[in-house]
Amino acid sequence: MGFVAAVVFAVCCWFSHGVAGQEEPIQTFVIPHSHMDVGWVYTIQESMHAYAANVYSSVTEELSKVKERRFIAVEQEFFRLWWDTVASDTQKKQVRQLIKEGRLEFIIGGQVMHDEAVTDLDDDILQMMEGHGFLYETFGVRPQFSWHVDPFGASATTPVLFALAGFNAHLISRIDYDLKDIMQKNKKLQFVWRGSPSLKSQQEIFTHTMDQFSYCTPSYLPFSNCSGFYWNGVALFPDPPKDGVYPNMSLPVTKETVHAYAKTMVENIKQRAAWFRTNHVLWPWGCDKQFYNSSVQFNNMDPLMKYINQNSKEFGVTVQYATLSEYFQTIYQSNLTWEVRGSEDFLPYSTEPYQAWTGFYASRNVLKGVARQASSRLYAAETLFTRYRISFPDGPVAKDWALDKLRALRWAVSEVQHHDGITGTESPKVADMYLQHLLQAMMGSMLASACLSDIEQTLEQHVIVYNPLAWNITTIVNVTVTQPSAAVFDDDGQPVPAQIQGSAHSNATYDLFIVVELGGLQYRKYLIKFPENSKAYEAKAVSFERRSVKDRAKAGRLLLPVLSECYELLFDQDTNLLHSITYLEEKRRVMITQDFWEYDANGDVKAGPISDNYIFSANGSAVRAYKAVEMEIIPGKIVTEIRQYFYREESDKDYAYSITTRVPECFGTKLPCHRLEQTYSLGPLSLNTEVVLRTSTSVKNNRTLYSDDNGYQMMKRTYRKFTNNTLARNYFPMVRTAYIEDDLSRLVLVSDRAHGVSSQTDGQLEVMLHRRLWNNLQWNLGYNLTLNDSSVVRPTLWMMLGSVSATSKLYQREAVQLQHRPVVMPIDQPRKCLPHTVPKRGSPLRSVVLPPNLHLLSLSIPGWNYCSNHSVHLNLHSQPDYDRILLRIMHLFEEGEDPELSKPVTINLKEALQGMGEVKGVEERSLTGTWDIASLQRWKWKTADNLEKDNKQQRRQDDDFTVTISPKEIRTFFVHFVSRNF
């Protein structure tokens, strides 16, 4: 069979490309690159020391020697570290010249090559903006192409963001193996992608899918037992060899070997060419950790390429060093008409029948949670610092110090978005590195950091509660205290509704719930006193005895109601489980039960498929994770709390899992009643266990669910049957939101971190919350990637139930409000601390409120020193610009999703921002701020439907502050305020 296949392939190549000399040779673009993971097996500093710094030092030297050579730089974190700490003045001068000549090209331009499945929209933009600002500030360049070769699947949000950033083409690689095979055979690896159903052609982008060889050069050499085309060998950790000679070198290119090398390379080029429509082949030269000794690389490839070109008529191939822009420019000039891909994504991702990469959606739950928390902290700190600078430009907070703290947190949040970072697919020491960077940066980021040290709780405590959103909110905040009674007062000395009760997770502390009302971007101060006679309602628990799963046959006899203005929840006293929820507005009851189930994972590669950091491959269906359940209900005047404890065995002393559900008592208040807040406790898990929260309902969803792409848009996930591994291949990422629905009802979950979700049976929504795995796969053991995660995790989900039309108005805002909850900042002595955190005058700050369908995506002072006029682009001043405010606004709704909220919104930015100060100028920019939108003209690719395309926004008049934001649009502005000096 192998011989027959080879003959068939040779014949196909003959007819595809003709006899040598009768057709134009295949034009091959050899793109030198090094894939450098910002984390994974080794820490960032270990990688810098072992190879990453050498990549840029040696590449700079080698490119400067020969004009034909090229290189693309992808991950900015490594380049920036090299530039700031390693590069000499001579090397910096060489880099600037190489960039000017177009021989060193920055691709993507973000801090990292971010993951696409479990990252949040906010953080994808941040890490890209962080890198783009540096590149524009330092070199005056703006990346226009992506190189997303290694993320584990491709979301539809990513191409939208790249288009908004001004990119002309997008490149992906990892998609389902069977889908890629079909696309190769049908020459459909290239297409125009319209990632957003609302934006359609407005933000379409040409997309190139790498073929089955992906981003690494083929390593097999038929004439040698050495790997091919990687002449500089394998990077050595922890230290590179002092003499610069690395082991495992490929066979050198000599007079004796050059023909065999050329024949191997040409055969691979022709094989790739058969899968694409044009006569131009992208041939990536490089792989992980390559080009740290690039003189060896280029000194072997130079004569090989020269030999092929000298014999191009015989080979039917020409080769040339190229950047990615040179390749895409040639494809663009081919002027072909391309097929259009709609808003569907390429998730989940599988490499083989039993290799579904859906486990990483839930790997390292703690890291996922801390990363999201750090992002939220950064968002709040950015808006608070921006407001402070506008109102008090000469205030006591040192602006350079504050910007340094913000930049540290920007860097930490950016780097963890790496596709082996937030995914949880890294080694334990790298996960610890990410956590350390995040926690240290969070501690230093808040402008009130001088007041955030551990506070000795005396007879009173002061807190500031800050709302970082541009919406008015009424909500409940929870302050942990050590006293059993308390009274709360606002900054006018008036008592505030509050409730105190024992903590669900600690016998030594108490939960103090406070009702707060805050305008957009407002803070308020509260005084907590701890008198013997509390003015806060003291809620007491009512306990229900432990129930065995053996008693489930009795279920439904004794139902206990818990009421709010929106819902009636019924709990079954025979099982201590939720029984049903009625959403009262339509008086419709939905049967709902929630409990925990476990998938058993195989740890022996000889026994079958395994689960690991990346892959989910269950031994079979999930089994119930408990034998008995206890319940406590704490009725309150502000919130009623239901605590359910799940025990592995009926006689166990300690519970394995828990659900804490908070139902707001909102009668006669402004508190939102549609939100049921749930927090879970899981762990430590048994080894080779993957735990899911299973919500089983009477909703007839036919195993179809919806989950979000990066918090930006919802994707329909239709259950599919496969020959193998159907269970795992029907898991999908949930970054913020997932729901199931039928004609009458929709059940929505919004999350504080990423998880995996599935609907394995009708009416079921299953969320994978935690995983602990070990296996004996040698590759995993060698790199310590077995995920023996013994942590206890406490993720949060908010649940909503209602009609499709009612929940459509809610879930986007709820997801945002869960992400950006009010920030509670304890302060020890206001008279000492307050001047360093918030201004005394004008307290509370005037609110800034956007319409309900618009979200303030960013409000920050980037601090870049470049001029926004590209004709100047490098400002002569070396100081950061503290007067340039970056404002980014997003329309939350899809086109046609809601009769009112999906309409375009016209706002006057001067009026909308008057609560912060007087706006004197607005200029619209690209997503990351480096392009003036009026001058941004992206390539327009021909498509079969010939839709009218306008990738250029209308230039606004200088005195016009009015903008219209359409469904799913994200618009970015530089805003300048009238200076206020006191």
CA–CA distances in Å: residue 506 to residues 54, 476, 511, 680: 50, 20, 10, 14
Q: Which of 799, 818, 837 is the last residue of a domain?
A: 818
Q: Where is mean pLDDT largest: 9-13, 229-233, 464-468?
A: 464-468
Mean pLDDT of 204-223: 95
Residues 595 and 499 in one domain: no
- State the burial class of residue 144 (Cβ atoms within 10 Å of its Cβ: 0-12, 13-18, 19+): buried
Residues 557 and 515 in one domain: no
Residues 516 and 583 in one domain: no
CA–CA distances in Å: residue 143 to residues 94, 148, 175, 630, 652: 19, 13, 24, 57, 58
Residue at 765 is within a domain: yes
Q: Which of 798, 818, 838 is the last residue of a domain?
A: 818
Residues 527 and 551 in one domain: no
Catalytic sites, residue numbers: 150
Residue at 549 is within a domain: yes
Residues 522 and 549 in one domain: no
Looking up residue 559, the CATH number of its domain turns out to be 2.70.98.30
What whole-number percentage of the chain has pLDDT above 70? 92
Residues 633 and 508 in one domain: no
What is the Cα–Cα distance from 728 to 232, expressed in whole angstroms?
Answer: 39
Determine the pLDDT at residue 833: 42
Global pTM reads 0.94
Residues 632 and 703 in one domain: yes
Residues 527 and 574 in one domain: no
Residues 633 and 706 in one domain: yes
Q: Please give the residue range of the domain that contains residue 804.
A: 539-818
Name the pairing type of β-strands 498-502 and 537-538: parallel
Q: What is the dihedral of CA 181, 186, 189, 190, to 10 degrees?
A: -170
Determine the pLDDT at residue 959: 53
CB 28 within 8 A of CB 269: yes
CA–CA distances in Å: residue 528 to residues 20, 482, 537: 85, 12, 14
pLDDT at 955 exceeding the cut of 60: no
Which comes out higher in pLDDT, residue 660 or 845?
660
CB 500 within 8 A of CB 539: yes
Residue at 600 is within a domain: yes
Residue at 561 is within a domain: yes
Reported confidence tier of residue 979, pLDDT bands at 50, 70, 90: confident
Show the DSSP H helices in 735-803 as ranges.
Answer: 778-783
Residues 603 and 750 in one domain: yes
- The dihedrals phi and psi of 857, each to the nearest 5 degrees, come to -75, -35
Looking up residue 521, the CATH number of its domain turns out to be 2.60.40.1180
Mean pLDDT, all residues of the chain:
91
SS3 of residue 185 by DSSP: helix
Residue at 481 is within a domain: yes
Residues 807 and 673 in one domain: yes
* Count of the separate structural domains present in the chain: 2
Q: What's the pLDDT tens digit per position in 763-781? A: 999 999 999 999 999 999 9
| DSSP-assigned letter for residue 346 | B
Residue at 312 is within a domain: no
Residue at 60 is within a domain: no
Mean pLDDT of 84-97: 98
Residue at 405 is within a domain: no
Of 133, 741, 203, nearest to 410 (Cα)? 133
Residues 481 and 620 in one domain: no
Q: What's the pLDDT tens digit per position in 786-837? A: 899 999 999 999 999 999 999 999 999 999 999 999 999 988 654 444 444 4
Q: Which of 477, 499, 531 is the last residue of a domain?
A: 531
What is the Cα–Cα distance from 558 to 570, expressed in whole angstroms?
Answer: 9
Reported confidence tier of residue 242, pLDDT bands at 50, 70, 90: confident
